[in-house]
Amino acid sequence: MQFLTLNSHSPQQTQLLGSYLGKLARKADVFLLTGELGTGKTCLVQGIAHGLNVEEYAFSPSFVILRQYHGRLPLYHIDFYRLDSIDEIADLGLEDYFHGDGVCVVEWAEKGLQIVPHDNLLISMHYVPISQTERSIRLKPHGDRYDELIKQLKKESEYWPKMRSGKRGAI
Protein backbone atom coordinates (compact mmCIF):
# COMPACT_ATOMS: atom_id res chain seq x y z
CA MET A 1 0.00 0.00 0.00
CA GLN A 2 1.39 3.35 -1.05
CA PHE A 3 0.55 6.61 0.62
CA LEU A 4 1.18 10.22 -0.24
CA THR A 5 2.03 13.05 2.14
CA LEU A 6 1.87 16.66 1.00
CA ASN A 7 2.18 19.98 2.76
CA SER A 8 -0.35 22.65 1.96
CA HIS A 9 0.85 26.18 2.63
CA SER A 10 -2.54 27.86 2.29
CA PRO A 11 -6.28 27.22 2.10
CA GLN A 12 -6.01 27.76 -1.66
CA GLN A 13 -3.51 24.91 -1.98
CA THR A 14 -5.76 22.65 0.10
CA GLN A 15 -8.61 23.49 -2.26
CA LEU A 16 -6.34 22.83 -5.24
CA LEU A 17 -5.59 19.33 -3.97
CA GLY A 18 -9.31 18.79 -3.39
CA SER A 19 -10.08 20.00 -6.90
CA TYR A 20 -7.74 17.45 -8.38
CA LEU A 21 -9.30 14.70 -6.24
CA GLY A 22 -12.71 15.79 -7.50
CA LYS A 23 -11.56 15.61 -11.11
CA LEU A 24 -10.30 12.05 -10.55
CA ALA A 25 -13.34 10.96 -8.52
CA ARG A 26 -15.59 8.16 -9.71
CA LYS A 27 -19.02 6.90 -8.78
CA ALA A 28 -19.06 5.30 -5.29
CA ASP A 29 -15.71 6.80 -4.20
CA VAL A 30 -15.39 7.31 -0.45
CA PHE A 31 -12.99 9.91 0.94
CA LEU A 32 -12.62 9.88 4.73
CA LEU A 33 -11.27 13.04 6.34
CA THR A 34 -9.72 13.14 9.79
CA GLY A 35 -7.99 15.90 11.71
CA GLU A 36 -8.43 18.45 14.42
CA LEU A 37 -10.84 21.35 14.22
CA GLY A 38 -9.52 23.95 11.79
CA THR A 39 -7.09 21.75 9.84
CA GLY A 40 -8.89 22.36 6.54
CA LYS A 41 -11.26 19.44 6.09
CA THR A 42 -14.13 21.57 4.79
CA CYS A 43 -11.66 23.54 2.67
CA LEU A 44 -10.60 20.26 1.02
CA VAL A 45 -14.26 19.36 0.44
CA GLN A 46 -14.79 22.73 -1.26
CA GLY A 47 -12.00 21.81 -3.67
CA ILE A 48 -13.48 18.36 -4.29
CA ALA A 49 -16.81 20.03 -5.07
CA HIS A 50 -15.04 22.32 -7.53
CA GLY A 51 -13.37 19.34 -9.21
CA LEU A 52 -16.79 17.70 -9.56
CA ASN A 53 -18.14 20.87 -11.24
CA VAL A 54 -20.46 21.66 -8.34
CA GLU A 55 -21.60 25.26 -8.72
CA GLU A 56 -22.87 25.68 -5.14
CA TYR A 57 -20.62 26.70 -2.27
CA ALA A 58 -19.86 23.67 -0.05
CA PHE A 59 -20.63 24.47 3.59
CA SER A 60 -19.78 22.30 6.56
CA PRO A 61 -22.80 20.09 7.25
CA SER A 62 -22.11 19.91 11.01
CA PHE A 63 -25.66 20.86 11.99
CA VAL A 64 -27.48 18.77 9.38
CA ILE A 65 -25.08 15.78 9.17
CA LEU A 66 -25.35 15.52 5.35
CA ARG A 67 -25.44 17.95 2.45
CA GLN A 68 -25.90 16.88 -1.14
CA TYR A 69 -24.48 18.84 -4.08
CA HIS A 70 -25.02 18.29 -7.78
CA GLY A 71 -22.17 18.28 -10.29
CA ARG A 72 -20.56 15.82 -12.70
CA LEU A 73 -21.38 13.27 -9.97
CA PRO A 74 -23.46 13.89 -6.86
CA LEU A 75 -21.35 14.89 -3.86
CA TYR A 76 -22.53 13.62 -0.48
CA HIS A 77 -20.79 15.71 2.17
CA ILE A 78 -21.24 13.95 5.51
CA ASP A 79 -20.06 15.21 8.90
CA PHE A 80 -19.84 13.02 12.03
CA TYR A 81 -18.69 15.90 14.29
CA ARG A 82 -21.86 16.19 16.38
CA LEU A 83 -22.43 12.45 16.70
CA ASP A 84 -21.35 10.82 19.93
CA SER A 85 -21.59 7.09 19.31
CA ILE A 86 -21.15 4.52 16.59
CA ASP A 87 -24.81 3.54 17.13
CA GLU A 88 -25.94 7.07 16.22
CA ILE A 89 -23.84 6.89 13.05
CA ALA A 90 -25.04 3.40 12.14
CA ASP A 91 -28.67 4.51 12.57
CA LEU A 92 -28.27 7.16 9.86
CA GLY A 93 -28.56 4.55 7.09
CA LEU A 94 -25.68 5.88 5.02
CA GLU A 95 -25.10 2.64 3.07
CA ASP A 96 -27.07 3.91 0.08
CA TYR A 97 -24.78 6.93 -0.11
CA PHE A 98 -21.58 4.92 0.32
CA HIS A 99 -22.51 2.53 -2.46
CA GLY A 100 -24.57 4.90 -4.60
CA ASP A 101 -24.08 6.95 -7.70
CA GLY A 102 -22.04 9.74 -6.17
CA VAL A 103 -18.92 10.57 -4.18
CA CYS A 104 -19.02 10.46 -0.37
CA VAL A 105 -16.76 12.71 1.62
CA VAL A 106 -16.95 12.20 5.39
CA GLU A 107 -15.55 14.74 7.84
CA TRP A 108 -14.62 13.50 11.33
CA ALA A 109 -14.57 10.01 9.84
CA GLU A 110 -12.57 8.64 12.79
CA LYS A 111 -15.86 8.54 14.73
CA GLY A 112 -17.36 6.00 12.32
CA LEU A 113 -14.54 3.93 10.90
CA GLN A 114 -16.34 0.73 11.92
CA ILE A 115 -19.26 1.38 9.54
CA VAL A 116 -17.67 2.99 6.49
CA PRO A 117 -16.68 0.89 3.47
CA HIS A 118 -13.34 -0.90 3.84
CA ASP A 119 -12.23 0.42 0.43
CA ASN A 120 -11.67 4.15 0.84
CA LEU A 121 -9.13 6.95 0.72
CA LEU A 122 -8.26 8.05 4.25
CA ILE A 123 -7.07 11.66 4.30
CA SER A 124 -5.47 12.78 7.57
CA MET A 125 -4.88 16.49 8.04
CA HIS A 126 -2.58 17.92 10.70
CA TYR A 127 -1.20 21.27 11.77
CA VAL A 128 2.46 21.81 10.95
CA PRO A 129 4.25 23.08 14.07
CA ILE A 130 5.34 26.74 14.07
CA SER A 131 3.04 27.63 11.16
CA GLN A 132 -0.36 29.26 11.20
CA THR A 133 -1.35 28.18 7.69
CA GLU A 134 0.67 25.09 6.75
CA ARG A 135 -0.97 21.68 7.00
CA SER A 136 0.39 18.18 6.49
CA ILE A 137 -2.03 16.07 4.44
CA ARG A 138 -1.55 12.31 4.31
CA LEU A 139 -3.54 10.29 1.79
CA LYS A 140 -3.68 6.58 2.64
CA PRO A 141 -5.45 4.25 0.19
CA HIS A 142 -7.45 1.20 1.21
CA GLY A 143 -8.23 -0.93 -1.85
CA ASP A 144 -7.10 -1.19 -5.46
CA ARG A 145 -9.17 1.79 -6.65
CA TYR A 146 -7.46 4.08 -4.18
CA ASP A 147 -4.00 2.65 -4.80
CA GLU A 148 -4.54 3.65 -8.43
CA LEU A 149 -5.76 7.09 -7.37
CA ILE A 150 -2.58 7.65 -5.35
CA LYS A 151 -0.50 6.60 -8.36
CA GLN A 152 -2.36 9.15 -10.48
CA LEU A 153 -1.76 11.85 -7.89
CA LYS A 154 1.95 11.02 -7.68
CA LYS A 155 2.30 11.16 -11.47
CA GLU A 156 0.69 14.58 -11.63
CA SER A 157 3.61 16.98 -11.92
CA GLU A 158 1.80 20.26 -12.48
CA TYR A 159 0.36 20.66 -8.96
CA TRP A 160 2.73 19.00 -6.52
CA PRO A 161 5.83 21.17 -7.04
CA LYS A 162 3.66 24.13 -6.01
CA MET A 163 2.65 22.37 -2.82
CA ARG A 164 6.19 21.30 -2.00
CA SER A 165 7.80 24.65 -2.70
CA GLY A 166 5.29 26.78 -0.86
CA LYS A 167 4.10 28.72 -3.92
CA ARG A 168 0.52 29.83 -3.65
CA GLY A 169 -1.83 27.96 -5.95
CA ALA A 170 -5.48 28.76 -6.48
CA ILE A 171 -8.41 27.15 -8.17
pLDDT in tens, 36-75: 998 999 999 999 999 999 999 888 766 778 899 999 999 9
In a domain, 123, yes or no: yes
pLDDT exceeds 90 at position 86:
no
For residue 84, being part of any structural domain is answered with yes
In 3D, which of 98, 143, 71 has the Cα closest to residue 90?
98
Residue at 121 is within a domain: yes
**Residue 11 sits in which domain range?**
4-157
Q: Is residue 169 part of a domain?
A: no
Report pLDDT digits (tens) over 96-119: 889 889 999 999 999 888 889 999
Q: In the prediction, which pLDDT does 132 show?
A: 78
Q: Is the pLDDT of residue 151 over 80?
A: yes
Contact 75, 69 (CB under 8 A): yes
- Distance CA(164)–CA(74), nearest Å, equals 31
Q: Whole-angstrom Cα distance, residue 103 to residue 126?
A: 23
* Residue 38 belongs to a domain: yes
Q: How many domains does the chain have?
A: 1
Q: Is residue 165 part of a domain?
A: no
Which of 25-34, 57-66, 134-143, 150-159 is the least confident region?
150-159
Give the domain CATH number at 12.
3.40.50.300
Residue 42 maps to a domain: yes
Residue 113 forms part of a structural domain: yes
Burial classification of residue 39, based on how many CB atoms lie within 10 Å of its CB (0-12 exposed, 13-18 middle, 19 or more buried): buried
Residues facing residue 149 across a β-bridge: none
